[in-house]
Structure 1
Amino acid sequence: MFRIDELLIEMINAGASDVHLQAGSPPMGRIHGDLVQFGSKVLRPEDTAAYAQALLSPEQWEDFEFRNELDAAYSLAGHGRFRVNVFRQRGSVGIVLRVVRDQIPDFETLGLPQEVMRTMAESPRGLILVTGPTGSGKSTTLASVLDHINRTHARHIITIEDPIEIMHRNRKSIVVQREVGVDTRDFRTALKYAMRQDPDVIMIGEMRDKETVEAALTAAQTGHLVLSTLHTQDALRTINRVIDFFQPYERTEVRNLFAESLVGIVSQRLLRRADGHGRALATEILLGTPLVVDSIKEEDKTPLIKDAMLEDNLRGMHTFDQHLAQLYMQGVISMEEGLEAATSSHEYRLLVTKADFEGEKAIESDQGYNRPQAHSQTFGRR
């Protein structure tokens, strides 16, 4: 059996983003979105248990034996860090590791809209949410935002994570990173005490419950920049999810707080590139413009937010389907990949057709302009 470090190094070198170790299956790694088998040796229950014990401290292993599931982090010198989830399935130990790179990519490298992201990151206060399904790169986007603040502004940044994934060194800012279960009891407790630690920026790994959402909104309202994630598919669903954490009688007040706090929502999905090399990031951007604020406050106007994103591109807002159509027209993704990822396949097709039509008109216009110009030159020579 491979030593765990040797196996992880092999998978990192192959470009794996996630590692799956389960009894009854060979080691598997996710490369460019697809699961790939590493070797043919089927892991036994004693193999996965040994791997788990190598990844966890004695105290963490004891906690796992009591709880039957555990989140942790693991560092491999010279190769990076891993977010580790250990669990039981059919009586044996299963492990999933997420590869966390040491180097924090910037907005351009990630494929994020640079000017919009810089503007949001430099907001003095408010709420920024990064949303998307598991494995869509939310943590990396948050890390990129924090790194931008850290490099360009003197701020006190506090992160509350479960577990800590990407390490931030102090640059212009002071960065305090607290891990749930190690440095603090839970998100709610850490948020309560963070408010007494003179923060400028607070990053919450995930908004999991009503109490955390409530504390985040309060922090955003009292002069702090708050960043967090949600497992929602797009901006409109994110708004509804935040409000749905609360009871009906609380929602009018929450709508007002949320609307007045919102800096922006970045929803994202990772797609297979058309050339087969890696994955491309598709985004939906919603900003807290006056029209959006008004639409969040009034429930009957909330569905109009999509129209605001479609029509207010000058500020940097756009829907998923708009960005998917753009990625397709640039040759980054295939038509089929865009259809599979689209919020509305019908709208995506219309956007692609419109872009095709406008492209043909532009070509015809250029050709039509060149012909009369040539004639005028001829007339001039006469």
Structure 2
Amino acid sequence: MNVKELLTTAVEQDAADIFLVPGMPFSYKIGGRIIYQGQEKIMPEEMDRMITQIYELAKNRDMAKVREHGDDDFSFAIPGVSRFRANIFRQRGSLAGIIRVVRFELPDPEALHLPKMIIDVARMTKGMVLVTGPAGSGKSTTLACIIDEINRTRNAHVITLEDPIEYLHRHKMSVVTQREIVTDTDSYLTGLRASLRQAPDVILLGEMRDHETISTAMTAAETGHLILSTLHTIGAANTIDRVIDAFPPGQQQQIRTQLSMVLDAVISQQLIPTLDGGVQPAFEVMFLNNAIRNMIRESKIHQIDGVIATSQGEGMISMDNSIISLYRKGAISRENAIAYSSNSELMAKKLDR
């Protein structure tokens, strides 16, 4: 089996991921569902050959890492087809791989149902914006749309630190330099510290994994840069708690004060299966006003949800209201509306009104 043909077909069929696991047919993930391609199971010896072909496509990358440690993560491209991110690993003693398709063309915000208020984050010139949600909820895609809007409308230097690079930005009105962790720089923290000496206007930080990175990012936001980053939390209030809890107890009050000054928006999202077999995003959007800044400073995070629910005039929306709106439009089922809400009993009552 030729891996190049397999990857090309995956791109043509609009697959998001390709599963190469011994003992089952190779599969594509299309529209959130894993679909077998044929009935023929791939045996471990054949799989080893296929994985070797992937390493050859990645400029003959050395296989020592996966053989010694059992895991390897890297990107490669097939000219004229697409870019791919491969995660190769050992399972049950044999090699397997999950390959993500990385699109050359940038996503269309309208086709993704991204509200205008989220794209308008591109107008901000300083501060910190966090895009949050579970893995696979489209955070990278939302950020790619915001970066593209900056690139189209502003003359700025945008630096992205990603693991791995998921969308390729061409230089339009802005200069966009994209750095991949491990390939181009050692870590998020190293890359972030270096980026502050590279005359940036906007820094996209793929992930904030520890308190050192968060602290450096907040300082960068304080000094007049726009910092965009992600966390794996659902809901604005949970996000603020998560940032503060990353620090030792002795530093938390200082961090509350700093965060209340630098944070400008939290966009929380999750993808909900629709009735027509696709997915649609539900959003919680919080822009920080004086009331919310005071709540962060005074550790009254539990009151933030109430402010979001009553601040639609300021462009905010709560996750539950976003889900109810999708349900009323007939996009999602009642079961999914309840399953994806933060409080299922309360959501059931709201839907019955």
Q: Which consecutive residues of structure 1, in runs of 5 or more, have no partner in the other structure?
A: 355-382
Q: State the AA in 2 paired with 1:311.
A: T
Q: Corresponding residue for 1:320?
A: 319
Cα offset, 1:86, TM superposition: 1.4
- What secondary structure does 1:15 align onto? coil
- What secondary structure does 1:188 align onto? helix
1:8-31 deviation line (CA, Å, top 9, x unaligned): 233333332222111122112222
Q: State the AA in 1 paired with 2:76.
A: Y
Q: State the AA in 1 paired with 2:69.
A: R
Q: Does 1:215 align with 2:199?
A: no
Q: How does 1:1-382 map to 2 (within 5 A)?
A: 2-56=1-55, 57=58, 58-114=60-116, 116-276=117-277, 278-299=278-299, 301-354=300-353
- What secondary structure does 1:337 align onto? helix
Cα offset, 1:60, TM superposition: 4.6
Q: State the AA in 2 paired with 1:141.
A: T
Distance in 1, matches of 2:310 and 2:162, equals: 36
- What secondary structure does 1:99 align onto? strand
Tell me: CA distance 1:219–1:333, structure 2 relative to 1, closer, same or farther (3 Å). Answer: same
Q: Which consecutive residues of structure 2, in runs of 5 or more, have no partner in the other structure?
A: none
- What secondary structure does 1:10 align onto? helix
Q: State the AA in 1 paired with 2:334.
A: M
Distance in 2, matches of 1:32 and 1:340, equals: 19
Instruction: Report how many residues are paired.
Output: 350
Distance in 2, matches of 1:9 and 1:200, equals: 37
Distance in 2, matches of 1:47 and 1:269, equals: 37
More helix by share: 1
Distance in 2, matches of 1:341 and 1:263, equals: 26
- What secondary structure does 2:110 align onto? helix
Tell me: CA distance 1:352–1:91, structure 2 relative to 1, closer, same or farther (3 Å). Answer: same
Which has the higher mean CA deviation after the structures are superposed, 165-174 or 100-109? Answer: 100-109
CA-based RMSD of the aligned residues comes to: 1.6
Distance in 2, matches of 1:60 and 1:72, equals: 11
TM-score by length of 2: 0.94
Distance in 2, matches of 1:14 and 1:251, equals: 49
Distance in 2, matches of 1:69 and 1:336, equals: 38
Distance in 2, matches of 1:335 and 1:78, equals: 43
Which has the higher mean CA deviation after the structures are superposed, 227-236 or 100-109? Answer: 100-109
CA contact (8 A) 1:102 1:166 kept: yes
Q: Corresponding residue for 1:362?
A: none
Distance in 2, matches of 1:217 and 1:8, equals: 40
CA contact (8 A) 2:20 2:96 kept: yes
CA contact (8 A) 1:73 1:165 kept: no
- What secondary structure does 1:110 align onto? coil
- Larger Rg: 1 or 2? 1
Distance in 1, matches of 2:53 and 2:214, equals: 36
Cα offset, 1:249, TM superposition: 0.5
- What secondary structure does 2:24 align onto? coil
